[in-house]
Chain A
Amino acid sequence: MLLTLAWRNLWRNKRRSAIIIASVAVGVIALTLSDALSLGMMHQMLNNRIGAHVGHIQIHAPGFRANPSLTALLTDPDAIQTELASIPAIRQSSKRIVQFGLLSSSRSSAGVNIVGIEPERERRVSHIARSVVEGHYPDSSKGDILISRHLARKLEVELGDKVVAMASARDGTVGSEVFRVCGLFATLDAEFDKFHVYASLPTVGSMLGLTKEASQIVAIVDEVDSVGAYREAIQSQLGGVLDVASYRDLLPMLVFQLDSYEQLIWIFYLIVGLAMFFGIVNTMLMAVFERMHEFGVLMSLGMARSRMFALILLEAILLGLIGTLTGELLSWLVSIPWERYGLDLSVFSEALGSLGVGNKIYPFIAASTYLNSLIMVPAFAVLGALYPALKAIRLRPVEALRYV
């Protein structure tokens, strides 16, 4: 019944209520959409890195991650891969050799990570294959190398041109190999593109004096959210000797960014809440004073003060809820075309490329985004109504009745 009263009281002054609802809705839209954008960008950054190269799980020999070199290699990667095949959660795995070296053309040279891959298996753990824009993905033929369009420009080479790769081999000498550019790729991550080139694993291995060793094994799992558990399972299954890392360990900064965002966003909620707060305090104060005589009548009827207090707060909660739902509805409507077409920010392509995001940003709206607003925003509305409600119940019935 209190609810009925509160609800009907809202509509006594439609314009006033509408304005409060509008102000709340605008605040909620600001919160939701900026959340969607930021989270969208961060998730894109993370997923691009995972998809381009990092994968969900990587296995190395101990010490490799701290100091990537040929002194810490996996001695029997094939055996590891056989082990992995027996774990149902792992969808796919592939081995790689990774070594920093110099790639030279006749015109120029660049320092790159030379990545030796098993082309078919690699295709299923990363999306480099899908990022090929010219030419073709390396097959197992010996001399193919896949470089980025970026790098091709820097080295001033085109498809079919020859390049020389040089890197430190296992025995300390400098190994080198001539390659032909078989394809050009472009991912959304400009920094990544500049520094990675792909060739077949056996070729790279022989260039570096390796037989069956590999630098790392990359694996993709089914349930990304359970990657932590999988990591432990794999670690124990492999005897606990090897370094098994999930993307959370491999991309700690991005993970940290996502995690800390959750905490920092509260500040913005607070600010928007305060912005609403002032408007609500004033509006409810005036509404309370307008109805003071009525409150006197209610008290004369025997309505307890606590109930009157609750009534006023209830009106504020309702306004807050309606405003929040309206704002969320509008945000959702905006997000539909956004999710479909993405937000084209190519004017910032350099910046976005350096962050590894790509020119089109897609929103990320989790249920938690909606839920947070639904709880926080009406709470601020209630805070705004506290002082007015206290004013309403302070008076003795006679004093309230004296109000005109």
Chain B
Amino acid sequence: MSLFLHLAWRNLWRNARRSSITLAAIAFAVLMVALQDGLQEGTYTANIKAAIRLSSGYLQIQHPAYHNKPALRHSIAYSDELRRKVDSVDAVVAYAPRIYADGLLSFGDQSMGALIVGVDVQREPLVSDYHKKIRDGRFPAEDKPFEIVVGQTLLQNLGAKIGDSLVVLAQGFDGYLGNLFFTIVGTTKTGSEDLDRMSVFMPLAGAQELLGMWGRCSVLAIELPRLNDIPETKRALTAALSENQLAVLAWDEVLASLKQLIEFDQISSEIQMLLLVLVVAFGILNTILMSISERYQEFGIMLSIGMSNSRLVAIIALEVVMLAILGIFIGDLLALGLNSYFSVNPIELGGEMMELYEEYGFLPMLKSSVEPSIFIKASVECLVFTLLAALFPLWKVYKLEPLKGIRYT
């Protein structure tokens, strides 16, 4: 066996230039696939984490009807029993109740629409990053239910500043309109245009007072250590809450459009990459075909002294596999280098690109990942295509007759 390996290896280098170019082609294909996948994986994960920490949380507990009809009517009781049951699930790191409602802000003769977000000032920082996005001022204090934080753009449009008081008007739980004064204590810049233009944060108690929702909240956001914990924890929570008729949703059910955007992007890139590898595979097909026909005389002689066609095919297949593995290895190495660089130093987008990304609610950066699955997938894909490309030439060798080989011109 080792003789054959030796033989195969030396055969590869009979034409060093040709083999090198083929190596380069395979390495290139692997590099492209791994690079693309790495950037996607890294960027998506970063975006998902950001969305989780800025919007949905890993999981959310909701009223079963809330997802389709997010009304205050479909809020849940923020009871001790609920808290106890959620605590009982191991993986849960933290949880925080939130109230979401639509409202109108009035300041002087300006009024603007807003998304009201009532948060538990103590618990919320464990579950989200809102408090980190405070640009000026501060997050509301726990004992001051009528303090409010206004999105940066919203504040500008209202013409207000920190320290001012404004009126928040909203339809409450019982259908009646509530309006209360709130004092602006801070402003946020979250990087998401939507949030900055439309949201205000107030302590849960303030929202409950405004909307007549004492003891209730719209959702309970749950924090977990890792994305991988989601399925298991979701199961555990659903089981624990089965009698309460509450729904447990993962982030991708809450943010269905983000998930689909990611899927759509993944699928279209996948197709593009497959076509790319196909292009390279054609080149390899030609190369193998031509190098085999150059050796027909040699093969003919080997066959005539008694080697079987299958053995011959095996030898050449071995050459192809060796070349492929070498090329894949080189490609993986290069990809590993680039991916690790970009996972630690993501490409930051600036200028209008940055604005564009933020407009869509994405982080303005491209980040890579060194998840092993990326390299494995790229390697396997290219190996498969290379072997497929070798099928026809190998078949020809399989069918070769000794004399035909010797007489080949």
Q: B268 near A: Cβ within 8 Å?
A: yes
Does B169 lie at the interface of the complex (its beta carbon under 8 Å from any beta carbon of A)? yes
Residue B272 at the chain A interface, CB threshold 8 Å: yes
Instruction: Determine whether the beta carbon of A350 is less than 8 Å from that of B257.
Output: yes
User: Cβ of B282 and Cβ of A351 under 8 Å apart?
Assistant: no
Given known contacts A16-B290, A354-B261, is B73 in contact with A108 (CB within 8 Å)? yes
Contact B103 A102 (CB under 8 A): yes
Q: Are B282 and A20 in contact (CB-based, < 8 A)?
A: yes
Docked complex: A57-88 residues within 8 A CB-CB of B: 67-71
List residues of A whose CB falls within 8 A of some B CB: 15-16, 19-20, 22-24, 26-27, 29-30, 34, 37, 67-71, 100-102, 104, 106-113, 153-156, 166-168, 170-172, 174, 190, 253, 256-257, 260, 268, 271-272, 274-276, 278-283, 285-286, 345, 347-355
Most chain B CB neighbours (cut-off 10 Å) among A70, A104, A106, A113: A104
| Residue pair A278, B104 in contact (C-beta under 8 Å) | no
B356 contacts A111, C-beta separation under 8 Å: no
Give residues in B with beta carbon < 8 Å to A. Answer: 17-18, 21-22, 24-25, 28-29, 32, 68-73, 101-104, 106, 108-115, 156-157, 159, 169-171, 175, 177, 198, 256-261, 263-264, 268, 271-272, 275-276, 278-287, 289-291, 294, 352-353, 355-356, 359
B286 contacts A278, C-beta separation under 8 Å: no
Contact B25 A168 (CB under 8 A): no
CB distance from A204 to the nearest CB of B (A): 15
Task: Give the chain B neighbours of A355 by CB distance below 8 A.
Answer: 261
Nearest chain-B residue to A260 (Cβ)?
B353
Whether B279 contacts A253 by the Cβ 8 Å rule is no
- Whether the pair A286, B256 counts as a contact (CB closer than 8 A) is no
B352 touches A283 (CB 8 A): no
The CA-CA distance from A271 to B279 in the complex, in Å, is: 11
Q: Select which of B169, B170, B279, B290 is within 8 A of A276 by beta carbon.
A: B279
Question: Given A30-B272, A271-B32, are A108 and B282 neighbors across the interface (CB < 8 Å)?
Answer: no
**Inter-chain contacts of B271 with A (CB < 8 A):** 34
Report yes or no: B282 in contact with A19, Cβ–Cβ below 8 A. Answer: yes
Task: Assess the A108–B72 pair: CB atoms within 8 A.
Answer: yes
Residue of B nearest to A273 (CB): B279
- Chain A residue with the shortest CB-CB distance to B291: A286
Chain A residues lying within 8 Å of B111, measured Cβ to Cβ, are 69, 100-101, 167-168, 174
Point out the residue from B18, B101, B103 that lies within 8 Å of A286, measured CB to CB.
B18
B283 close to A256 (CB less than 8 A): no
Known: A16-B289, A282-B22. A275 touches B171 (CB 8 A): no
Q: Give the residue of A20, A70, A113, A166 whose beta carbon is less than 8 angstroms from that of B169.
A: A166
Closest 9 CB pairs of A and B: A279-B283, A168-B111, A23-B282, A351-B260, A278-B25, A109-B171, A111-B113, A30-B275, A108-B71
Q: Which residue of B lies closest to A355 (CB)?
A: B261
Q: How far is the CA of A20 from the CA of B285 in the complex (A)?
A: 10
The number of inter-chain residue pairs (CB within 8 angstroms) is 201
- Judging by beta carbons under 8 Å apart, are A26 and B171 in contact? no
**Residue pair B71, A156 in contact (C-beta under 8 Å):** yes
Q: Which of A16, A23, A102 touches B279 (beta carbons < 8 Å)?
A: A23
CB within 8 Å for A20 and B268 given contacts A174-B169, A275-B29, A282-B21: no
- Listed by A's residue number, 7 A-B pairs whose Cβ atoms lie within 8 Å are A20-B286, A29-B275, A156-B71, A168-B104, A168-B109, A275-B283, A345-B264
**Cross-interface CB contact of A279 among B156, B286, B356, cutoff 8 Å:** B286
Nearest-neighbour CB distance to chain B for A163, whole angstroms, equals 11
Q: Which B residues touch A350, using CB under 8 A?
A: 256-257, 259-260
Residues of A within 8 A of B356 (CB): 253, 256-257, 260
Q: Which residues of B contact A100 (CB under 8 A)?
A: 104, 111-113
Chain A residues in 8 Å Cβ range of B287: 279, 282-283, 286
Minimum CB–CB distance from B238 to chain A (whole Å) comes to 23
The answer to whether B104 and A16 touch across the interface, beta carbons within 8 angstroms, is no
B109: chain A residues within 8 A (beta carbon): 70-71, 168, 170-172
A348-B359 Cα distance, complex, nearest whole Å = 20
Given A102-B171, A275-B279, A279-B284, decide whether A154 and B70 contact each other with a Cβ distance below 8 A. Answer: yes
A247 to B: closest C-beta gap in Å: 16
Q: Closest chain B residue to A15 by CB distance?
A: B289
10 more contacts with CB within 8 A, not counting A100-B111, A108-B72, A155-B71, are A19-B285, A34-B268, A69-B110, A102-B170, A111-B104, A153-B68, A166-B169, A166-B177, A168-B104, A275-B28
Whether B171 contacts A283 by the Cβ 8 Å rule is no
Closest to B72 in A: A108
Residue in B72, B291, B352 whose Cβ sees the most chain A Cβ within 10 Å:
B352
Q: Which residue of B lies closest to A23 (CB)?
A: B282
CA distance A348 to B263 in the complex (A): 8
State A175–B384 Cα separation when bound (angstroms): 69
Expressed in whole angstroms, the Cα–Cα distance for A112 and B114 within the complex equals 10
- The minimal Cβ–Cβ distance linking A248 to chain B, given in whole angstroms, is 13
* In the complex, chain A residues whose CB is within 8 Å of the CB of B286: 16, 19-20, 279, 282-283
Say how far B167's CB is from chain A's closest CB, in angstroms. 9
The CA of A351 and the CA of B256, in the complex, are separated in Å by 7
Q: Which residues of chain A have C-beta atoms less than 8 A from B113's C-beta?
A: 100-102, 111-113
Given A100-B113, A109-B171; A27-B264 close (CB under 8 Å): no
